[in-house]
């Protein structure tokens, strides 16, 4: 059974109504949020295991490579 959609045309309309500097700031924040999520949740998936890895829906080697790439970037620190 599928749940409600995560994004609807109403979301688009709301976004169009926001001031331009808010929308620009959002674009700056998205890469940070992705990196933060990988660091916060990706590492425990590797250490503790995950049904996603067990079901082969998530590639542990790809996750390790991505985390290593983030760590190698300037200002990128991954705590293990």
The structure tokens listed for 33 are 């949020």
Report pLDDT digits (tens) over 8-58. 888 788 878 878 877 777 766 777 888 888 888 888 888 888 888 899 988
**What was the pLDDT predicted at 42?**
83
Domain ranges of the chain: 22-72
Find the angle CA(42)-CA(8)-CA(21) to the nearest 5 degrees: 75
Phi then psi for 64, rounded to 5 degrees?
A: -60, -45
Q: How confident is the model at residue 61 (pLDDT cuts 50, 70, 90)?
A: very high
Q: What is the pTM of this model?
A: 0.49
Upper half-sphere CA count for residue 19 (Cβ side, 13 Å): 3
**What was the pLDDT predicted at 49?**
84
């Amino acid at each position: 059974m599928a749940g409600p959609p995560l994004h609807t045309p109403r979301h688009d309309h709301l976004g169009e109504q926001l001031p331009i500097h808010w929308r620009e700031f959002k674009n700056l924040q998205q890469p940070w949020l992705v990196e933060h999520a990988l660091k916060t949740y990706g590492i425990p998936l590797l250490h503790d295991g995950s049904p996603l890895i067990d079901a082969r829906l998530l590639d542990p080697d790809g996750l390790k490579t991505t985390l290593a790439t983030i760590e190698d970037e300037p200002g990128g620190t991954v705590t293990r």
